[in-house]
Structure 1
Amino acid sequence: MENHPSRRNFLKSTTAAAAGATLTSTIARTAHAAGDDEIKFALIGCGGRGQGASQNIFNTKGNTKLVAVADAFDGKASSAIQNLSRRNEGKVDVPADRKFVGLDAYKKIMDVDCDLVIIATPPGFKPQQFEAAVNAGKHIFMEKPVASDAPGVRRVLKSVEESKQKNLMVGIGLQRRHEAQYLETVGRIHDGAIGDLITLRVYWNGGGIWYRNRTPDQTEMGFQCNNWYHFNWLSGDQICEQHIHNLDVGCWLKGEYPVECNGMGGRGQRLDGDATKSQIFDHTFCEYTFADGSKMYSQGRHLKGGWNQVAEYAHGTKGTADVSGARINANDSEWSFDRSKRQQGHQQEQHDLIEALMRGEIYNEGEYGALSTFTAILGREACYSGKVIRWDELMENGKNLSPGIDEYTLQTPPPVVPGPDGKYPVPVPGEYDPFA
């Protein structure tokens, strides 16, 4: 590299996987953006969140271009190209030979000349896709959650360490950590605004979610992948897929992760109780315990006609905080964040990521992305089993929900199949074994 490298040279150096290059922090600090530098990115997972993250990247100040896409289904890959091309003239260059289809399509992305990879696939597939991107020396933005089981989290954590050695950017879609209202509120609490934390309360209570009817030409694997939210091995259940945001905020506030959890949950309204369509719960309640004995109470729910709440609250020795509302009450005084300065997190996280790359700076969110994912998995397994589950034991011995996943195709029988009655197995508290 030259004495005064451009950001483009910086990107090329850090994506030179064949050379195994690890950029020093000195070079990263001295890299700068040139006005015409182009950031090429590829998209793995062309659903709503993948297209949304791509659009957010196009909305940044960066000179960005989408150069490849991959999805399990041809229709979704083609739709993403068409939708993004229509909205972003000149920013999408994805010819037919850079549109990859199938469960192994992500592998072909790794040979494409690009700087950044977006991974927005079902959580069950993310560990091997993240590993492949790190091995290929790509910068990465990966949506949350990053896995659906303990072996997947361990695999991600191992790849995170490798990404640090290669000095790769790793952004994780826990966007609250990029929003000004959260940053200031959490900062004030960390500075002692409400004293020592005693209790945290976190919620994701909402209505139902989408479901896609089976089509005559679908394989069982194709049906499940198209309805990935409804299968534990793919989504990790609602507590992982959505409620992770609130659990992440709670652990961020506490500055640590829980040591154990007990919980309860079940299925009351999920598709009217039809187990031929879905196997996940529609409500969970967890009591997380931290090392000092303090608690985090968690509610996650999909319930038609119920009380909706997506929020986080903190109670301390000197006061309380409505964290999601960015308000603090302590010592007979009140503080609230200026609502006019609130930020939209999905967009802000991409502003931060692209601007950092343009400056030649690197940050890595992989570790807390994995540990917050595991917090959700810990809660799910406690609810499924009805038992107290220890963090360390589950991390080491938690069950593998999808053995052999690296070799899956749309023709492969999935790890969960209907029984003779056409119903998918549903966890039964008191009988379910999180270690089997």
Structure 2
Amino acid sequence: MQNNASRRTFLKQSTAVAAGAAIATNVARTAHAAGSDEIKFVLVGCGGRGNGAADQIMNTKGNTKLVAVADAFQNKADYAVSQLGKKHKEKVAVDPDKIFTGLDAYKNAIDVECDLVVIATPPGFKPQQFEYAVNKGKHIFMEKPVASDAPGVRRVLASVEESKKKDLMVGIGLQRRHEPRYVETIKRIHDGAIGDVIATRVYWNGGGIWYRNRNADQTEMAFQTNNWYHFNWLSGDQICEQHIHNLDVGCWVKGAYPVKCNGMGGRDQRENGDPTKSQIFDHTFCEYTFEDGSKMFSQGRHLKGAWNQVSEFAHGSKGTSDPSGWIEGANPYKFTGNSPGGHQQEQHDLIEALMRGDIYNEGEYGAKSTFTAILGREACYSAKEVTWDELLAKGRDLAPGIDDYTIDSPVPPSARPDADGKYPIPVPGEYNPFV
């Protein structure tokens, strides 16, 4: 996680290649069993994004087959098998004894004979699940973000290094990096189309997110796991869970990651301000600083009746750009080609690469873009300037002992309600990112 890595090395490692081309090639290992072109995969996390990723994998040209699923909850696991089976028929071959439930169910699914593991669980659970899949020698597609705190990012980075040693495929669900409109435009920026990148502006401003009411028979752990977006140890807050996409593009454009951040934020509308329902903010604003002094300005919010915007912009010494497809200034450009949706394209790219025996690894930029979001969150929570290196080394552990959690375990102290049922809410000026 050195910020002084050369720009050339960063660009080589982080620029996605569209339409199935691999970032790196290693044909020493194929994805599937010798003598068969079938790619067996398992799904860990049967929510909307997990089911979507599984569906998109089975939409590819590959001979793919879903052979096991795991989720914290039985009804979600059963529903995933049922719905995916209706659409994909024989591509879904999940026997009843291959439907696993519980917070440790990921181990059972990953232990099933398979080639590829899809991890689409709440971010707080991903570091140990990714680590387990790497230790088992499985190829991996993992949704973003890959962690919710600094210890989780460190754990993911260590597992990424192991995955490279084992020549494992690691795809990360930052799908803009697989969309030709972004790839082509950002390549031109890197080639100097807008000159030196002086500043970027990135936005994820929307009206809100789902909330799931508590059931009378739920444990606190079950409630928070089912309502994971609203708890910092599970989601990392909105800046991490959603705004990461825009932050990732900003860093991709810049060819670097920030060295520090200051910010502000709070909660005005989140569940009507009720601290017994949610602990995350509903608005953040960040000023990120890169090593060369340039800036990235970030807005992320969930506020009804406010200005909505989900986009990225880059300002350079010779022009400006929307990295999703146009450049204005000395070297004007507008993308006019075909640019399929990123969620499907990233699975086309991954499965086609596995079919060829090519291996690429997106784990490092997945972890660093996740940490960029965490850096911004901690700056907003504390209302202090926070540096990358100090936070990575000393940042809060939001869920100590998480490997041993069950659905009946106490929730971590960072999300434990008080006697009145109120959850801990970060207070800017008082919150300490390092305790």
State the TM-score, normalized to the length of structure 1. Answer: 0.92
Question: 2: distance between equivalents of 1:84 and 1:395?
Answer: 39
Q: 1:354 to 1:431 in 2, by over 3 A?
A: same
> Aligned residue pairs: how many?
410
Q: Which amino acid aligns with 2:418?
A: G
After TM superposition, give the deviation of residue 257 of structure 1 in Å: 0.4
Q: Secondary structure at the match of 1:264?
A: strand
Q: Are 2:271 and 1:271 equivalent residues in the alignment?
A: yes
The one-character-per-residue Cα deviations of 1:244-276 (angstroms, maximum 9, x if unpaired) are 000000111111100000000000110111111
Query: 2:334 aligned to 321, 333, 336, which one?
Result: 336
Q: What does 1:111-130 correspond to in 2, within 5 Å?
A: 111-130=111-130
Asked if 1 retains the 8 angstrom alpha-carbon contact of 2:30 and 2:355, the reply is no
After TM superposition, give the deviation of residue 334 of structure 1 in Å: 2.8
The one-character-per-residue Cα deviations of 1:181-227 (angstroms, maximum 9, x if unpaired) are 00000000000000000000000000110001100110000000000
Asked if 2 retains the 8 angstrom alpha-carbon contact of 1:28 and 1:362, the reply is no
Partner of 2:208: 208
Partner of 1:154: 154
Q: Are 2:399 and 1:407 equivalent residues in the alignment?
A: no
After TM superposition, give the deviation of residue 25 of structure 1 in Å: 6.7
Asked if 1 retains the 8 angstrom alpha-carbon contact of 2:26 and 2:358, the reply is no
The one-character-per-residue Cα deviations of 1:6-56 (angstroms, maximum 9, x if unpaired) are xxxxxxxxxxxxxxxxxx976438999999611000000000000000000
Q: Which amino acid aligns with 2:309?
A: Q
Q: Are 2:141 and 1:144 equivalent residues in the alignment?
A: no
Q: What does 1:33-432 correspond to in 2, within 5 Å?
A: 37-324=37-324, 326-331=325-330, 334-338=332-336, 341-415=338-412, 416-432=415-431
Question: 2: distance between equivalents of 1:300 and 1:76?
Answer: 29
Question: 1: distance between equivalents of 2:82 and 2:30?
Answer: 38
Q: Secondary structure at the match of 2:121?
A: coil
Q: 1:115 to 1:266 in 2, by over 3 A?
A: same
Partner of 2:433: 434
Q: Which amino acid aligns with 1:403?
A: P
What's the RMSD between the two structures over aligned residues? 1.7
After alignment, is 101-110 or 38-47 more displaced?
101-110
Asked if 2 retains the 8 angstrom alpha-carbon contact of 1:67 and 1:94, the reply is yes
Any gaps of 5 or more consecutive residues in structure 2? 1-23
Question: 1: distance between equivalents of 2:30 and 2:112?
Answer: 27
Question: 2: distance between equivalents of 1:412 and 1:74?
Answer: 18
Partner of 2:19: none
Asked if 1 retains the 8 angstrom alpha-carbon contact of 2:41 and 2:66, the reply is yes
Q: Which amino acid aligns with 2:191?
A: D
After TM superposition, give the deviation of residue 419 of structure 1 in Å: 1.0
Q: 1:239 to 1:212 in 2, by over 3 A?
A: same
Q: 1:166 to 1:149 in 2, by over 3 A?
A: same
Q: 1:31 to 1:108 in 2, by over 3 A?
A: closer
After alignment, is 28-37 or 221-230 more displaced?
28-37
State the TM-score, normalized to the length of structure 2. Answer: 0.92
Asked if 2 retains the 8 angstrom alpha-carbon contact of 1:207 and 1:303, the reply is yes
Asked if 2 retains the 8 angstrom alpha-carbon contact of 1:33 and 1:360, the reply is no
